[in-house]
Structure 1
């Protein structure tokens, strides 16, 4: 990749890494599912009136939106609301790489390579260590919910791979339509109309800024740049940058929220990232710009998309 595009990739990783802290700060004033509905309303509107439909069936768009957006982020927001540390959340969510490899092998019969198997085993060992280390000092439930978010994302990855859904800006915008109404309905059911009404009529500056950052920064700007890089370069040249996300996420939470991970959590994090790196990074010739227009969200189980949270 050129220096310019490498810097753009790093910029996106910084935006995505800080996104966990931004979400966590916004959740102080708004119920998690209502906050989710607000974010994806801003992602979808008014762009759906200007962005063309993705080259995929409605069934595939809805399925991808249901798992990659609604399922993943409702559980992510809920985990943060339950007390999941933002920095640790940025790490645990990367378990989606391991889950994707396993689900793809079972469901669509894409056997992983030996390198991916080794990486998955190492990553799982690191993840188990992180969960154990966190459980010593805090409830494990938020971690379990975060693993559910990673699993939902992995299912979405496999659906996108099986259906051949392209990873494009139009898919980000149109699949966002799946989120607002179900999220708002669940918020009304769980939080009650009085709490939802109070939150909407007393939005703080932090909540508004957080919504703007997550919608326009993390989702639209971040994925706009990300998809353009995937259109120019092989996934193997672009995807490894996402290993910066949990590093930036943990650092941001450390600086902004004084969230200091334990030594055991850091060791587990390093082991897990090592496994994810082994599963996603591969050296191959021909990493220059490509002429293809779009790249699949999950090229295959041998080149897993490890895109971080949107």
Structure 2
């Protein structure tokens, strides 16, 4: 991966890491499905009026909306509301990297090298250390919901990789537009008539997750997926819990123990070794251009 693309991937991990603390703040003022629905509604409008068509078949837009929009974020926010703390949630959700690799290999036929397996193993060793230190303090159902959210994200990564939208931001606007209605209907059914009388803190949280994390974050994510293998890009999200737990320590006072710091070092080293940052032979994927037919020779 090129240095500027590497910096982009690490910056995206920072944005998504802080996002867990921001979402925890928002869930103090909104029920989870309503919060998710408002997030995507705000991300879609008024940008939808300027976006134009998504430039990919509608089935892929709907597929990513179902897996990432409704599946990942619906399950994730319900799990957080059920008792999963922000730091642990940022950790558990990164199982999506494993799900992405498995789905990419089985559904897209991508190659899984020994180097990438070793890097992922080192990184997941770091995640295991964090889990051991932090402990699964939330209810088991909340934990299972977050694991299911990670699986939905992994499947959504593969769908987005297969769609290969030429304009990632435009694609994410349409994904948000298709995600909002089912989430809002589910909220009305399961959570009742919404109460939008939230303080400024709740609305600022929604602004961050809608425009910075959703539009900006997934726009960059799709841009990277269009240029590199899904199993190459996905390991960088293992940096998210590093930023997630760091921001939680700064905002909520969660302690950063030596074991957590050692785990963070393993995660960084594993991600770097997983293939892309130090591999000079890795090149972005390019669209194949049709060859021109050879002109017949003149007699």
Question: Normalising by structure 1, what TM-score?
Answer: 0.76
Structure of larger gyration radius: 2
Asked whether the 8 Å contact 1:243–1:277 carries over to 2, the reply is no
The equivalent residue for 2:208 is 213
Unpaired runs of at least 5, structure 1? 294-310
Call closer, same or farther: CA 1:57–1:227 in 2, change over 3 Å. Answer: closer
Asked whether the 8 Å contact 2:235–2:271 carries over to 1, the reply is no
- Offset of residue 108 of structure 1: 3.3
Call closer, same or farther: CA 1:69–1:118 in 2, change over 3 Å. Answer: same
Alignment of 1:139-288 (within 5 A): 139-166=139-166, 168-193=168-193, 196=194, 199-200=195-196, 202-224=197-219, 242=237, 244-260=239-255, 270-272=265-267, 274-285=269-280
Q: Deviations over 1:30-69 (max 9, x none)?
A: 0010000001001111111211222211111100111122
Unpaired runs of at least 5, structure 2? 288-299
Aligned-partner SS, 2:274: helix
Give, in whole Å, the separation in 2 of the partners of 1:266 and 1:113.
28
- Offset of residue 192 of structure 1: 2.1
The equivalent residue for 2:113 is 113
The equivalent residue for 1:98 is 98
Call closer, same or farther: CA 1:143–1:264 in 2, change over 3 Å. Answer: farther
Give, in whole Å, the separation in 2 of the partners of 1:112 and 1:292.
20
Asked whether the 8 Å contact 2:232–2:274 carries over to 1, the reply is no
Asked whether the 8 Å contact 1:64–1:175 carries over to 2, the reply is yes
Call closer, same or farther: CA 1:12–1:155 in 2, change over 3 Å. Answer: closer
- Offset of residue 2 of structure 1: 7.1
Asked whether the 8 Å contact 2:172–2:219 carries over to 1, the reply is no
Give, in whole Å, the separation in 1 of the partners of 2:102 and 2:225.
24
Asked whether the 8 Å contact 1:130–1:268 carries over to 2, the reply is yes
- Offset of residue 222 of structure 1: 3.7
Call closer, same or farther: CA 1:228–1:257 in 2, change over 3 Å. Answer: same
Asked whether the 8 Å contact 1:131–1:140 carries over to 2, the reply is no
- Offset of residue 282 of structure 1: 4.7
Question: Normalising by structure 2, what TM-score?
Answer: 0.79
Alignment root-mean-square deviation, CA? 3.5
Q: Deviations over 1:111-138 (max 9, x none)?
A: 4111222234444444455445544654
Call closer, same or farther: CA 1:167–1:81 in 2, change over 3 Å. Answer: farther
Q: How many residues align?
A: 285
Call closer, same or farther: CA 1:222–1:128 in 2, change over 3 Å. Answer: closer
Give, in whole Å, the separation in 2 of the partners of 1:186 and 1:89.
23
Call closer, same or farther: CA 1:23–1:120 in 2, change over 3 Å. Answer: same
Give, in whole Å, the separation in 2 of the partners of 1:88 and 1:186.
26
Call closer, same or farther: CA 1:76–1:280 in 2, change over 3 Å. Answer: farther
Call closer, same or farther: CA 1:140–1:127 in 2, change over 3 Å. Answer: farther
- Offset of residue 226 of structure 1: 5.8
Call closer, same or farther: CA 1:145–1:61 in 2, change over 3 Å. Answer: same
- Offset of residue 79 of structure 1: 2.1
